[in-house]
Amino acid sequence: MKKKAIYYENERNRRPVEEFINGLESRLKAKVLARIEFLESRWQELRRPYVDALQEGLYELRIVFSGNQIRVIYAYMFSDYIVLLHGIIKKTREVPREDMLKAKNRMNDFQARFRKGKIKLPKIE
């Protein structure tokens, strides 16, 4: 079963992961977007080196391209959705603590606003 990847959007309608991806060089951006599509369709069978579990319901989509290590931190939510929470160019062995905290806070914010009826999920095609 396919899942739908959606961008986390804050209360000011900003989508940090979309902004991160749009700021990448065009070939790298294309690779990241292709990997997100791959995640949507093959999420059940993907393991390292494509994805890895981080902590507390967070996962990382791992992309290596021309020496750059791109990570998109995401969470599976509401059975059918992959919420893209945070994007980084990784420069250390592990995902930095502050980036993990940012992703966790966005996940909690998304869930809270969804419960209050402030977020409408797109239909799955």
How confident is the model over 107-122, as a mean pLDDT?
94
**Domain extents for the chain?**
4-115
pTM score? 0.95
- pLDDT tens-digit readout, 23-34: 999 999 999 999
Q: Residue 53: what pLDDT?
A: 96
The vertex-77 CA angle with 121 and 14, nearest 5°, equals 55
Over residues 94-106, the pLDDT tens digits come to 999 999 999 999 9
Q: What is the mean pLDDT of residues 68-79?
A: 95
- Cα of 79 vs its chain's centroid, Å: 15
Whether 1 has a pLDDT exceeding 90, the answer reads no
Give the CATH number of domain 4-115: 3.30.2310.20
3-class secondary structure, 86: strand
